[in-house]
Structure 1
Amino acid sequence: MKTIEEKLAKSLTAESIELIPYLPYLLQDLWELGSSPRDIIGMIIDHILVSNQTKVLDLACGKGAVSVNLASEFRFLVKGIDIIPEFIDFAINKSKEFGVGELCEFVVGDITESVKIEKGYDIVILGAVGDVLGKPEETIILLKNTVKKGGYIIIDDAYGKDNTDAKYLTKNQWLKIFKNTGVRLIDEKIIEDDELASINDEQQEFIVKRANELKKELPEKAHLFESYIKSQLKECEELENDISGVTLLLGVD
Structure 2
Amino acid sequence: MHTKTNHEVHEYFRIAPELLPYLPELFADLWAIGSAPEIIVAWLRRLGLPPRSTRAIDLGCGKGAVAITLAKELNYQIFGFDFFEPFVLAARQKAQEPNVAELCTFTCADMRHALNSASNYDLAIYTAVGDVLGSVAQCVGRLREAIHPHGYMIIDDGFRLTNDPIAFPGYEYYASHEETIHQLTAHGDKILQEKIFSVAEMKQVNQRNTAFITQSASAIVKSHPELADALSEFLEQERQECEILERDVACAMWLIEKA
TM-score by length of 1: 0.91
Q: 1:10 to 1:47 in 2, by over 3 A?
A: farther
Question: Cα RMSD between the aligned structures?
Answer: 2.0
- CA deviations on 1:124-145 (whole Å, 9 max, x unpaired) are 0011111112222221111111
1:247 counterpart = 2:258: no
Aligned pairs for 1:87-236 within 5 A? 87-97=87-97, 99-165=99-165, 166-236=172-242
Provide the C-alpha distance between the structure 2 equivalents of 1:48 and 1:178, rounded to a whole number of angstroms: 23
Provide the C-alpha distance between the structure 2 equivalents of 1:103 and 1:162, rounded to a whole number of angstroms: 42
Q: 1:116 to 1:17 in 2, by over 3 A?
A: farther
Contact 2:125–2:154, Cα closer than 8 Å, also in 1: yes
Aligned pairs for 1:37-76 within 5 A? 37-47=37-47, 49-76=49-76
Provide the C-alpha distance between the structure 1 equivalents of 2:182 and 2:7, rounded to a whole number of angstroms: 28
Contact 2:5–2:84, Cα closer than 8 Å, also in 1: no
- CA deviations on 1:31-85 (whole Å, 9 max, x unpaired) are 1112110010111123453432100001100000000000001112001111122
Q: 1:8 to 1:43 in 2, by over 3 A?
A: farther
How many residues align? The count is 250
Identity %: 31
Contact 1:61–1:80, Cα closer than 8 Å, also in 2: yes
For structure 1, the 5+ residue unaligned runs are none
Question: Which amino acid in structure 1 is aligned with residue 105 of structure 2?
Answer: E
Following superposition, the deviation at residue 17 of structure 1 comes to 4.9
Q: Which residue of 1 aligns with 2:81?
A: 81
Contact 1:4–1:132, Cα closer than 8 Å, also in 2: no
Following superposition, the deviation at residue 30 of structure 1 comes to 0.7
Contact 1:72–1:98, Cα closer than 8 Å, also in 2: no
For structure 2, the 5+ residue unaligned runs are 166-171
Provide the C-alpha distance between the structure 1 equivalents of 2:208 and 2:185, rounded to a whole number of angstroms: 38
SS of aligned partner of 1:78:
strand
TM-score by length of 2: 0.89
SS of aligned partner of 2:255:
strand
Q: Which residue of 1 aligns with 2:168?
A: none
